A = this chain, B = another copy of it.
Amino acid sequence: MLSPEAHARILSIDGSAALEVPGVRAVLTADDLGVVGGSGRKAEPLARTEVVFAGQPVALVVADSEAAAEDGAELVFVEYEPLPAVVDLEQAILPGAALARIERSADEADVAMHGEAGAGEDDEGTERVSANVIDIVAYAEGDPEQTFAECAAVVEGRFRTSWIHQSYLEPQAAVAWPEGDGGVAVRSSTQATFWTRSDLARVYGLPIPKVRVEAATLGGGFGGKFGVIEPLVVGAALALSRPVRLVFTRSEDFVSASPGPGLVIDLKVGARADGTLAALEGRVLADSGAFSDSSPVGFAGGKLGGAYSFEAWSVRTYGVRTNRPGAGAYRAPLATPTAFAIESLVDELARRLDVDPIELRLRNVPAAGDLRVDGIAWQATGLRETLEAVREHPLWQRRDDLPENEGIGLASGLFPGGRMGASAVCRLDSDGGVTVVSGYVDMSGTDTGVAAIAAEIVGVPLDSVRVVSGDTSEAPQAGVSGGSMVTYCLGSAVALAAADAREQILRYAAQQLEVDQADLEIVDGSVRVVGAPQRELSVAAIGSRLTGFGTSYPPVQGHGTAVPPDLAPSAAAALVRIRVDRDTGRVELLDWVAAQDCGRALNPALVEGQMHGGAVQSIGYALYEELVYDEDGQPLNGSFLTYAIPRIDAVPEIQTLIVEVPAPYGPLGAKGIGESAIVPGAAAISNAIRSATGARLHELPMTPDRVWRSLRSPAP
């Protein structure tokens, strides 16, 4: 059962009446779960003495049926002593503000002490802040003040973006059961089995081999499925020594998972007369929600520079604790809201300088080695080719020839993606099929790209390749299915494993066909002598022979481990045509062109799927989606009746332009493409509104009332 209070002390929990309900097996509270370690939300699957957000799990009612569990939960009586809820970011950071959490953990001491030293700014010019600030990250380079002074145009603005829910198709779910001697297994909707294993081992003090994590194939996770539900279910299974299943209802998932956080961004950007972006200054208040772990808010500042490089900059991000759920990652974490800010301002700069917006962006494509504002060097990317592809699109040519109230907007983005080590096995089966085994979770169809890599490299038809995601007890070591890493990192390991398997196949065939291995090729699943294709040995026959009794040759099992030596950012651009209804503020999407550099499209249908999905989610971010909390921290929308994601009638036809600039280290040139697809859409819509109406929006989502009000304010 979930807390109805956003912030309160728990005075007592009485489960005795619930235990009388037929079928109810147990009422578990925090004291019943044997948490011994971990940090943040994972170490607090149930609230202990203080609830810190409305929707926080307070007790688990375990029963033989859902109905009995629901009946039982109605009879668990929790006595709360309400405390002030912290909701507004700007209020929350003021010295002396009410605190979103009274009980502190030891590892928070530093920032808190610093923050509580006093009001105003300290000797170094640092803002004094309250103990709700749990994280301060600053980046600076050069002399921004001086550089701004040299600029031909400087624009600035305050942008606000919303809390947003990942709205994956399947709410989070998990079943856990005791296994082996004191161990536990869990099958869940996790995006990362090995991470979940480590987390659970830490939280419940179990040796790593005593925790086994299996993943279900995921339609989507979008960053939201990293260990929210598993500690609850595993704790219950361990406490009760029996299998326990927990499936979030949609409403539970809305109020108690780990949605993407809201930001308040103050951003100022200056450009030289030739359009060169020169200076950037930014301050971000990033809502951490109630927990301090696994939140990406500290990195918001690093994204402020968008797809550009500057001469001088100063950026400061405050991670602010509030009485909302713990902030999680959402597809291209924080890149969509920060792109909303920077791409809006770049659009304004193009107007001020009277430079074509694409031309301005092309002049500022970062070269490999140019620094991001977080000080990390950019890699070579396909951003230029992506922008050029958009420039040639007929829609862009029409931009000055539009009816009244229509506008065309453009924005671009780069998402660096991540990299993690990956291992893979490529096994030839007795039927000639190729099985690729990894520990990555198959999410949004990632397995199909992996299969394409193996098929092409081994030289067998795609439909003879199957990809298996193993559990943590036996799978090759894996990173997370997220961060645009599956194709890029796992794919690299699979490419090596497939090449290894191919080599083993050829070596055996060379011996059997009595030819030099160099004279062999694999065509359509058969090893042939080059120039004498009638001399052949099918891969299926090899698989059958090498898995039988008495073979003198080992089975074919290729193997690869890899970490790509550098990141491979994917560039994306969105070009949109919209119409604004000036009476209602409603924005109608008329055309959408999504261009994206995917390195190489291993599975074009899936690449287009990612581009479509990213575009649609950016439409949600732009126009519809917001988790709304009232001033007491009460969530006001917890279902799809009240939380608006784009419906099909709100989505225009999306034209996709796949741009292929091979990633130097990517498997067959491929790169991770999942994240950048979402980045530019919201900014593009905003720029189109500006183009159509002259109004500059500063807040996401750009709902009709906000648009309507902007139409009555002057453009910056």
Contacts and interface: CB of A to CB of B under 8 A. Distances in A.
A245 interface: no
Given A418-B550, A474-B474, A555 B423 contact: yes
B555 A422 contact: yes
B554 A561 contact: yes
A551 B468 contact: no
Nearest to A551: B421
A431 B559 contact: no
A194 B547 contact: yes
Interface in A62-91: none
A466 interface: yes
A364 to B, nearest CB: 27
B476 A435 contact: no
A319 B470 CA distance: 44
Given A435-B474, A550-B420, A559 B562 contact: no
A554 B559 contact: no
Quick one: which of A194, A473, A561, A565 has the most chain B CB within 10 A? A561
Contact of A423 (B419, B427, B549): B427
A111 B546 CA distance: 30
A522 interface: no
A405 interface: no
Interface in A518-570: 546-557, 559, 561-563, 565
A562 B428 CA distance: 14
Contacts of A468: 473-474
A607 interface: no
A147 interface: no
Interface in A430-477: 430-431, 433, 435, 437, 466, 468, 470, 473-477
Contacts of A435: 209, 473-474
Nearest to A471: B474
A425 interface: yes
B476 A557 contact: yes
Interface in A394-434: 418-423, 425, 427-431, 433
A550 B419 contact: yes
A628 interface: no
A198 interface: yes
Contacts of A477: 427-429, 546-547, 555-557
A657 interface: no
Contact of A493 (B433, B470, B554): B554
Nearest to A419: B550
B559 A563 contact: no
A430 B548 CA distance: 35
B552 A423 contact: no
A207 interface: yes
A553 B479 CA distance: 13
Query: Is chain A's interface secondary structure helix, strand, loop, or mixed overall?
Result: loop
A208 interface: yes
A181 B38 CA distance: 39
B555 A557 contact: no
Contacts of A418: 549-550
A599 to B, nearest CB: 20
A554 B559 CA distance: 13
Interface in A100-155: none
B479 A549 contact: yes
Interface string A558-585: 0101110100000000000000000000
A664 to B, nearest CB: 15
Contacts of A553: 421, 563
A554 B561 CA distance: 6
A425 B474 CA distance: 9
Contacts of A493: 554
A561 to B, nearest CB: 4
Contact of A474 (B428, B437, B554): B437
Nearest to A470: B474
B470 A433 contact: no
Quick one: which of A418, A420, A421, A559 has the most chain B CB within 10 A? A421
Given A430-B194, A552-B563, A559-B557, A546 B421 contact: yes
Contacts of A194: 430, 547
A562 B554 contact: yes
A470 to B, nearest CB: 4
A504 B428 CA distance: 25
Given A474-B470, A552-B565, A559-B425, A208 B547 contact: no
A547 B468 CA distance: 20
Given A420-B548, A422-B554, A474-B475, 9 more contacts: A201-B431, A207-B431, A207-B433, A208-B429, A209-B435, A418-B550, A504-B561, A553-B563, A557-B559
4 smallest beta-carbon distances between A and B, as pairs: A559-B559, A477-B555, A554-B561, A423-B557
23 contacts: A207-B431, A207-B433, A208-B429, A208-B431, A209-B466, A418-B549, A418-B550, A419-B550, A421-B547, A421-B551, A421-B555, A422-B555, A423-B427, A423-B555, A425-B425, A427-B476, A427-B477, A429-B477, A476-B555, A477-B547, A477-B556, A552-B565, A555-B561
